[in-house]
Amino acid sequence: MRRRLALATAGAIALWAAASHATIVTVFDGITAGVNNFNATVTAAGGTPTADQWDFSLSSFQGTVFDRGAYVVTRTNGGTIFLFDYGEMSGRVISIAPTSRDLALAPLGGLTLTFDNPINAIGFEIGDWATCCFPSALYISFDGGAPIQVAVANTSSQGLFPGRLNPSSLVYEIFVAAFDDSGSFTTVQFFGDGVFETLVMGGTIRYALLDIGSLPPTVPEPATLGLLALGLLGLAAARRRRS
């Protein structure tokens, strides 16, 4: 009986450990600090970051498909893309106008990046966010999965960070990223839910493919550990009653 209980306990712990090791990590910071964080996270997980700058020679682009070779960018609603400069961001940007707070509809106001080869880590620069329309959140979704919230602001001060070129000046320019080591993906959707705010995305797109399970596992909350312990104690009590 004790051997069966030990096996059941070990199995429960193994299932909990496996579930907890599929890790989602996000980055939300100023551009310089955020890029450093992204690169360090990718490198620590054994990956190699790739950077694609939307350089300033692209100002004349206008169309529905922005082809970057390794990936293409489209508006999720099929609309036309225009490129332009914004502040101190490292390259051209695309304007996004959030259209809904409903997470089922909000992606239609964003962009879709479709990659030739799988990735599971991506980051990019955002401008003119958190200037109004609170609360305002930003999301990244891999392969149409559950949206990952990468940033949220309830006041305008939460969108201010040191400038990329002039760190002594605070600007509405940030870097956001998402990592998901549960699998690999070929499409990424980015969108916001701050309806009526102006939002731009671009600069330099950074991405990588990490090994499955290569990110450090998140530390379980005490409540999670407590529930696991209670479950195991209940299993032990049931076994004793049957014996």
CATH number of the domain residue 81 falls in: 2.60.120
Residue 63 inside a domain? The answer is: yes
pLDDT of residue 192: 98
Is 18 within a domain? Answer: no
The answer to whether position 1 is within a domain reads: no
Range of the domain at 178: 23-242
Count Cβ atoms below 10 Å from residue 66 Cβ, excluding itself. Answer: 22
| Cα–Cα distance, 133 to 196 (Å, whole number) | 7
Number of domains in the chain: 1
Specify if 221 maps to a domain: yes
Per-residue pLDDT at 8: 43
User: Is residue 33 included in any domain, yes or no?
Assistant: yes
Residue 168 placed within a domain:
yes
Extended beta strands in 47-180, E state: 50-53, 62-63, 66-67, 71-75, 81-82, 93-96, 111-119, 121-127, 136-142, 148-153, 161-162, 170-171, 173-180
Q: Report, as ranges of residue numbers, the positions in the chain whose pLDDT lies below 70.
A: 1-22, 218-243
Residue 28 forms part of a structural domain? yes
- Any domain includes 30: yes
Supply the pTM of this predicted model: 0.82
